[in-house]
Amino acid sequence: MQSSQTEDSRLDVVRTVRVAASSARTSATDPEALAAALKQQAGALGFAPVGIASASQPRRVPLRTAALQRWLDQGHQAEMAWMADPRRQQIEALLPGVRSVLAVGLNYYVAAERQPGSLAIARYGWGRDYHRVIDQRLRQLGRWLEAQCPGLRWRACVDSAPLLDKAWAEEAGLGWIGKHSNVINRQHGSWLLLGHLLMTLDLPADQPAEALCGSCTACLDACPTGAIVEPFVVDSRRCIAFHTIENRADTLPAAITSAMAPWVAGCDICQEVCPWNRQPPSSSDSATAPRPWVLNLQAGEALGWSDQMWDEQLRASALRRIKPAQWRRNIRSLG
């Protein structure tokens, strides 16, 4: 009920913004006014930060695309074959005629901590499935934009789409890609879930974000498996998050199991030590609120979940990516 009320109130805000931005129809030929109205709508939907990138003349994306290819050539993707999808390097394949990209961030940091001795779950999995949340809000934004510009084509993308999402977020000025490979924003740190709205119209682009990691190596030094093999390069074959979520084998490598405690679903270590995450703002969005069991998940209890219990506890959760067999494997791997 609380979630429904929150969504209703958000829709009320959007309706208010729609009235305030009603001039967008008459100013559809004014790209700056339309871009401002679009960003205002995105903010009303709970997104912050928000930025726009040019899909026709990107400045940083070509460099990031080349870096992706080097990463793939070195085998750092492990079994994630979808990372080599050629559309990831050709945004036009996702939306022919794309001219601009709206990048949005959703703060998922909640000022709460797990109980001592409990199992650890990456913060992105505490609340509702962010894929659904971001996709639904972006689609609402796309429909609003289409009403202002009849004939416009658009596509909503979350990280399940073959889009170089972090690169486009950097291009749109949301933040820079840090040495741990996550996007870092000055105000929100790296606790941001990303979404993109591809559009077939030209809008004024924001400046790409400047990197501010400097000489800091906190994330590299803290990774217990040495997965950040060099600044900005994460080898998935060494990454706890990859193995607890994507690895479908019956057993995990010894190098992972010896270092993964207490993580059973993802890993936030490289973000927890980042100086830009020292005082992040806490999200008040109901979609990011932790499920009741997340902060005090005990190994014995979780290991005893039946498949039906697992289904009930992880309903509408991004953690459903981890199947019951892998869920139990991860818990047993802690010893």
The conformational region for residue 46 under phi > 0 = left, psi -120 to 50 = alpha, else beta, is left
Q: Is 73 known to be catalytic?
A: no
Using alpha carbons only, give the angle 221, 224, 226 rounded to the nearest 5 degrees. Answer: 65
What is the reported pLDDT for 73?
98
Q: What does the alpha-carbon distance between residue 21 and residue 39 come to, in Å, rounded to a whole number?
A: 11
Q: Which is the catalytic residue, given 85, 159, 202, 250?
A: 159
Between the alpha carbon of residue 111 and those of residues 175, 191, 289, 294, the distances in Å are: 22, 12, 10, 14
Query: In whole angstroms, what is the distance from residue 266 CA to residue 228 CA?
Result: 15
List the pLDDT tens digit at each of the 335 positions of the chain. 444 444 444 444 444 344 444 444 535 669 999 999 999 999 999 999 999 999 999 999 999 999 999 999 999 999 999 999 999 999 999 999 999 999 999 999 999 999 999 999 999 999 999 999 999 999 999 999 999 999 999 999 999 999 999 999 999 999 999 999 999 999 999 999 999 999 999 999 999 999 999 999 999 999 999 999 999 999 999 999 999 999 999 999 999 999 999 999 999 999 999 999 999 999 999 999 999 999 999 999 999 999 999 999 999 999 999 999 999 999 999 97
Nearest to 172 by CA among 50, 65, 67, 88: 50
**How remote is the C-alpha of 80 from its chain's centroid?**
17
- Is pTM beyond 0.95? Reply is no
Structure tokens that stand for 219 in this block = 């994330």
- Contact in structure between 224 and 269 (CB atoms under 8 Å): yes
Q: Which residues contact 292 (CB under 8 A, 6 or more apart)?
A: none
Is the sign of the CA dihedral 97, 103, 61, 244 positive or negative? negative
**Cβ–Cβ under 8 Å, residues 102 and 52:** yes
